[in-house]
Amino acid sequence: MRNVAVIGVGMTKWGELWEKSLRDIFVETALLAIEDAGVDRIDSMYVGCMSSGLFIGQEHLASLLPDYLGRNPVPAVRVESACSSGGLALRQGFIDVASGMSDIVLVGGVEKMTDVNGHEATYALGTAADQEYESYHGLTFPGLYAMMAHAHMAKYGTTREQLAMVAVKNHDNGSKNPLAQFPFKITVEGVLGSVLVADPLRVLDCSPITDGAAAVILCPSDMAKRMKKPAVRIAGSGQATDTIALSSRKDITWIESTHIAAQKALAMAGRKVEDIDLFEVHDCFTIAEIMVSEALGIVERGQGGKAVQEGLTSLQGKFPVNPSGGLKAKGHPVGATGVAQAVEVVKQLRGEAGARQVGGAKLGLTQNMGGTGGSSVVHIFEAE
């Protein structure tokens, strides 16, 4: 198996991009990644997209996107695994290069979510849950994560204020990211006073509806060295699944798929979680970041809320989590999130993250998950 490097990244500002179509935002970011990599060909493409059929009525992205990128007849694959579609697309691109099947691979992620109303967006996102045993009975993702939050609070003493501190931290980081959808700071009081969505979660505990795309270019590490590019190696990749229904889990305060995927990725990289300099994780709701930090092994079970309160996961802390602003402030165009996490980590490891730069960063981790953790993908990146 060949070593695989990221040699190009591309991302534009996320938000409510009324004037652009899905194909527009994908092509724009793909061209940025190609330019950054300095390559003149692509051998294959993988694109993460959760639900273009429900959001914009368009399927067959494996034909549409290479067509509008001007790259026909390159082979292309649309990858779907709910909100972990982007992370899984990255894993598939990694496998393609590592296996020797392709030398230069474009991995993208894209979602256009604001062309439908809020009810339709909620329905589309709800397809990542168990339709017969959850969605049919009226459960939405805020409701599912609210149950996880209540269980975590009851079992470990996690507080409502600690949930708010996750949002405050990530908005502070996002205020330093010019590409973030919401690049402004908030307060604990502001979170606690925001509109209630599903008790205990309020609107400022929730990631937004977002349009956006992100892209990376992968190639073998030895090729990157010959090109004299500031390459970042993908040192480890791990994937795991769990039950789609939250009610089927042994413990709804624990994300087993993330724990297993992280162990696989760390083992491949020959690293421990203590070696990692920064983390980009799936904070679709504030409780999610707390639970993910525990599943990754950053802290012990039940200590995620305390870690945020004590500053352990702040930009200046021992384990910086979501320097980009995370899904909470950067935005969450569901199919693009996993690829955007990789873009942020690569920028950090190249020393190009500006005001949110983590000093001396050499190793980074991304964690992207679908639903309530029914699928998880973890990657380890290392500066070369």
Domain shared by 294 and 365, yes or no: yes
Strand order in 105-112's β-sheet?
A: 76-79, 44-48, 105-112, 211-220, 4-11, 232-241, 375-383, 363-370, 278-280
Q: Which of 152, 171, 259, 332 is catalytic?
A: 332
Which of 142, 261, 155, 259 minimizes the C-alpha distance to 203?
142
Domain shared by 35 and 171, yes or no: no
Is residue 335 within 8 A of residue 111, CB to CB? The reply is yes
Domain total for the chain? 2
Is the residue at 27 inside a domain?
yes
Query: pLDDT 10s per residue in the chain (384 long)?
Result: 999 999 999 999 999 999 999 999 999 999 999 999 999 999 999 999 999 999 999 999 999 999 999 999 999 999 999 999 999 999 999 999 999 999 999 999 999 999 999 889 999 999 999 999 999 899 999 999 999 999 999 999 999 999 999 999 999 999 999 999 999 999 999 999 999 999 999 999 999 999 999 999 999 999 999 998 888 999 999 999 999 999 999 999 999 999 999 999 999 999 999 999 999 999 999 999 999 999 999 999 999 999 999 999 999 999 999 999 999 999 999 999 999 999 999 999 999 999 999 999 999 999 999 999 999 999 999 998
pLDDT, tens only, 143-166: 999 999 999 999 999 999 999 999
- Active-site annotation holds for 379: no
Cis omega before residue 142 (within 30°)? Answer: no
Is residue 330 within 8 A of residue 180, CB to CB? The reply is yes
pTM over 0.85: yes
- Active-site annotation holds for 219: no
Rounded Cα distance between 367 and 356, Å, is 19
Q: Which of 83, 206, 219, 284 is catalytic?
A: 83
Look up residue 316 and give its two tokens: 């200046």
Name every residue whose Cβ is closer than 8 Å to that of residue 233 and which is 6 or more positions away in sequence. Answer: 3, 4, 5, 6, 221, 381, 382, 383, 384
Is residue 238 within 8 A of residue 261, CB to CB? The reply is yes
Domain shared by 94 and 241, yes or no: no
- Which domain range does residue 326 map to? 137-207+235-383
Domain shared by 47 and 189, yes or no: no
Say how many Å lie between the first and final Cα of the chain, rounded: 18
Is the residue at 25 inside a domain?
yes
Domain shared by 228 and 275, yes or no: no
Maximum distance among all Cα pairs of the chain, rounded to whole angstroms = 57
> What CATH number has the domain bearing residue 44?
3.40.47.10
The pLDDT value given to residue 229: 81
The pLDDT value given to residue 13: 98
pLDDT, tens only, 230-279: 889 999 999 999 999 999 999 999 999 999 999 999 999 999 999 999 99
For residue 308, the SS3 value is helix
pLDDT, tens only, 199-243: 999 999 999 999 999 999 999 999 999 998 888 999 999 999 999
Is residue 312 within 8 A of residue 299, CB to CB? The reply is yes
Torsion of CA 126, 131, 134, 137, to 10 degrees: 100
Domain shared by 244 and 359, yes or no: yes
Angle of helix 256-269 relative to helix 286-296, nearest 10 degrees, comes to 50
